[in-house]
Amino acid sequence: MSKVLIIGAGGVGNVVAHKCAQVSSVFSEIMLASRTKAKCDQIARDVAEKFPDRKPIQTAQVDADQVPELVALIKKFQPELVINVALPYQDLTIMDACLETKVHYLDTANYEPKDVAKFEYKWQWAYQDRFKEAGIMALLGCGFDPGVTGVFTAYAQKHHFDTIHYLDIVDCNAGDHGKAFATNFNPEINIREITQNGRYWENGQWKETKPLEIHQPVDYPEVGPKESYLLYHEELESLTKNFPHLKRARFWMTFGQEYIKHLTVLQNVGMTSIKPIKFQGQDIVPLEFLKAVLPEPSSLGEGYQGKTSIGCQIKGIKDGKEKTYFVYNNCDHAEVYKEVKAQAVSYTTGVPAMIGGLMMLTGKWMQPGVYNVEEFDPDPFMDALNQYGLPWHEIINEPLAFTYPD
């Protein structure tokens, strides 16, 4: 039985709180903290209504940009683990606070500097020695992608391949929230990610493309063909490091034409810029202003219809013969809303964050230092996905969506 501190009360924080509350034998006490305590209080009320027999969630206000505030809160609550589902800008301050208090750490997305759109693990990997010396563990990128996609790859390597040569991560949201334009997670992070150049790994080096330049239809299970766009996603960096025999690794995501049309217009008029401009004597960042007028992602759940479909399409060698393997999860927006009043994009991030915490606190994944999910035994995590709401499926030796070199 352990105490857990969850930082962040958006859509993902709501899911993490609900799913931790579901496993009271491990997460015996929960505190939820964010800049806006009222959001935490509402989530705590929702969880109490769903799980009336468990100890209520405690709530607190904290500025995750301020290490002293974080340290004070951690010392007061004394958790065994901090689950960071705040903004990626705040990863390092929260890691610093965990170091100072010698508390384990988990997040779902790599650190990003606020003033430049860079998606690299180097800042967090640099904490390796300090976390080892402190005797604590940091688990990075434990959402779905990154997160489950890394576990899927490790599972494929362990059970289906001697060598993996080609990896294509495919991510489809075939849902309809009824809004003209909205993002399914934090608009700043979402739009920064999509408007950057694409990048993929091939023959030992990174190859760069223009934003959304390369695309093709992918046939997603239970969804059908959807146009999918190549973009850079952070798990490619860790997967190519931890699976050095990969000849090529790519990431694909679906976007509807209406979404792309709106995004193109917003880019053309400068609203996706992260460079401050002067407005009425004040410095404002256009993308931050845009975020303020777009729908809150956590508000999209009610009435959301359709499914997400995310998986790994893999080709490699087993016993001297070529083999193909597709492992994936489909998640239904409406069913998620019935369970936790959220939408599937938040759910597919929040459930793996809880499972990662479960792996750490039960000792299945526990080693001082800083690690990505694919560095641990995938089997208990895969079992937990089936148990806690994200069942996975596999297709073996059937044609994949992509053409692979010989």
Task: Please provide the average confidence, as pLDDT, over all residues in the chain.
Answer: 91
> Is 70 exceeded by the pLDDT of residue 338?
yes
Is residue 370 within 8 Å of 128, Cβ to Cβ?
yes
Query: DSSP for 84-124?
Result: E-S-GGGHHHHHHHHHHHT-EEEESS----TTS----SHHH
pLDDT value of position 1: 74
pLDDT value of position 277: 79
Band (pLDDT 50/70/90 cuts) for residue 301 is low
Residue 43 has which token pair? 């989530």
Q: Which helix (H) or strand (E) holds 50?
A: helix 37-50
Side chain identity, residue 375:
E
Band (pLDDT 50/70/90 cuts) for residue 291 is low
Is residue 143 within 8 Å of 108, Cβ to Cβ?
yes
- Beta-sheet pairing, 215-220 with 81-84: unpaired
CB-hemisphere CA count at 13 Å for 328?
25
Domains of the chain: residue spans and CATH: 2-140 (3.40.50.720), 148-337+391-396 (3.30.360.10)
Side chain identity, residue 370:
V
Is residue 45 within 8 Å of 59, Cβ to Cβ?
no
Band (pLDDT 50/70/90 cuts) for residue 400 is confident
pLDDT value of position 115: 66
The C-alpha atoms of residue 190 and residue 184 are separated, in whole angstroms, by 8
Answer whether 0.95 is exceeded by the pTM.
no
> Is 80 exceeded by the pLDDT of residue 62?
yes
Across the range 252-260, mean pLDDT stands at 79
Stretch among 25-39, 138-152, 192-206, 227-241 having the lowest mean pLDDT:
192-206
- Beta-sheet pairing, 104-107 with 27-34: unpaired
pLDDT in tens, 123-134: 999 999 999 999
pLDDT value of position 256: 72
pLDDT in tens, 177-202: 666 565 655 666 677 677 788 999 99
CA distances from 152 to 38, 138, 159, 327 (A): 37, 20, 11, 7
Give the residue, 175 or 255, on which the prediction is more confident.
255
Band (pLDDT 50/70/90 cuts) for residue 271 is confident
pLDDT value of position 181: 61
pLDDT value of position 284: 79
pLDDT value of position 119: 76
Give the residue, 370 or 293, on which the prediction is more confident.
370
Across the range 327-351, mean pLDDT stands at 96
Q: Which helix (H) or strand (E) holds 249?
A: strand 248-254
Band (pLDDT 50/70/90 cuts) for residue 298 is low
Give the residue, 195 or 212, on which the prediction is more confident.
212
Residue 168 has which token pair? 């294509």
> Is 60 exceeded by the pLDDT of residue 275?
yes
Give the residue, 399 or 238, on which the prediction is more confident.
238
pLDDT value of position 177: 65
- Burial state string for 378-405 with b = 16 or more CB within 10 A and e = fewer than 16: bebbbebbeebbbebeeeeeeebbbeee
Side chain identity, residue 365:
W
Q: What are phi and psi of 311, to 5 degrees?
A: -165, -175
Count helices and strands (H / E) in the chain. 14, 18
Is residue 344 within 8 Å of 308, Cβ to Cβ?
yes
